[in-house]
Amino acid sequence: MKKIFSPFGRINRQTFMILGVVQALVALVLWHFASNGLIPRPLKVADAFIKLITSKNLLDNVLVSFVLTIKAMAISIIITLFFSYLSVIPFFKNIALFLVKCRYLTLTGLIFIFTLLTQDGSQLKLSLLIFGIVPFFVTSFLAVIVTTDNQQFEICKTLGYSNWETLYEVIIVGKADQVLEIIRQNFAITWLMITLVEGLSMSEGGVGTMLIKFNKYNDLTNVLALQLVIFVIGLFFDFILGNLKYWLFPYTKLQIQR
């Protein structure tokens, strides 16, 4: 019992799980008794959640958001890798650094420009998403490149590698596992933005559209249920990407065991 509250205390897996379940239950009970009619009670949300996930409507919308997310992430990662890899070349360094600073441009202010530049709603959504994601991806990846141990470069030099070969070995191959990690970590941001951009062009649906509709009719129960769905999908993705990393790059698991 004491261990649970001591810094760096070690508890076994089972205790940890039990602890988690108990904490979740306490939170639910608190929620139940704290809600005063305005905020729907947990059981009601659970009920709505079940209804929601068994409806075809949800599946369709999730699929729409999902495809859009994947598309945006795929294009973003290509753009990110392109500029990040090239950032080691002085000529391209400024572009990469500028992309990083683009995090401070808010999307909302750019919607109109993007509307003018794009042909239709789906293009608008996609380009906004990409524009939103890329700076975060580039930021994370540049941080990875910057922290490269100088010895990695030195060993390449002593083996007689040219600068291009070094770039390939140390940055492209050596950091491949990090690319996946960045996708995983930034998936949350993408998932967050998707609800934002889907509100802009409602015709194609998506979870963001659903969320806005529920909100409009003050259907708080369904809003919370849908939030739960979004949350679960996010966790699922996190899990899949995490395992994909261990499978593709077995050495990353070894580092953790150390």
Partner 1 sequence: MTAYTKAETLLKVEDISLSYGEKKILRDVNFEIRNITRPDVRQGQVISLIGRSGIGKTQLFKILAGLKEPTSGKVSLDNGNAIKAGDMGVVFQNYYLFEWRTVYKSLELAAKKNPELKDSGIKTAINRYAEDFNLTEHLSKYPQQLSGGQRQRASIIQQLLNGSEFILLDEPFSGLDVLVLDKVKELLLKISLTDERKTLIIVSHDIVTTVAVSDTVFVLGLEGNKPGATIKKEIDLCERGLAWQKDIHKEPAFIKTIEEIKSYL
Residues that bind partner 1 (CB under 8 A): 151-152, 154-155, 157-161, 169, 173-174, 176-177, 249-251, 254-255, 258
Give 10-64 as a DSSP string.
Answer: ---HHHHHHHHHHHHHHHHHHHHHH--SSSPPHHHHHHHHHHHHTSHHHHHHHHH
- Residues 88 and 146: beta-carbon distance below 8 Å: no
End-to-end CA distance of the chain: 28
Smallest gap from residue 81 Cβ to partner 1 (A) = 17
For partner 1, the closer of residues 177 and 198 by Cβ is 177
Smallest gap from residue 176 Cβ to partner 1 (A) = 7
Instruction: Please state, in angstroms and rounded to a whole number, the distance separating the CA atoms of residues 219 and 162.
Output: 62
CA distances from 131 to 23, 75, 103, 198, 203 (A): 39, 10, 9, 15, 21
For partner 1, the closer of residues 81 and 133 by Cβ is 81
One-letter amino acid identity for 199? G
Q: DSSP assignment, residue 169?
A: I
For partner 1, the closer of residues 106 and 158 by Cβ is 158
Smallest gap from residue 211 Cβ to partner 1 (A) = 41
Neighbours of 206 (CB within 10 A): 26
For partner 1, the closer of residues 101 and 253 by Cβ is 253
Smallest gap from residue 257 Cβ to partner 1 (A) = 8
For partner 1, the closer of residues 171 and 197 by Cβ is 171
Distance of CA 257 to the CA centre of its chain: 25
Smallest gap from residue 160 Cβ to partner 1 (A) = 4
Smallest gap from residue 146 Cβ to partner 1 (A) = 18
For partner 1, the closer of residues 10 and 258 by Cβ is 258
- Residues 28 and 21: beta-carbon distance below 8 Å: no
* Residue 233 token pair: 């999908």
- Residues 196 and 131: beta-carbon distance below 8 Å: no
Directed axis angle between helix 220-248 and helix 176-198, to 10°?
160
Instruction: Please state, in angstroms and rounded to a whole number, the distance separating the CA atoms of residues 85 and 236.
Output: 30
Smallest gap from residue 250 Cβ to partner 1 (A) = 7
Q: DSSP assignment, residue 41?
A: P
For partner 1, the closer of residues 102 and 176 by Cβ is 176
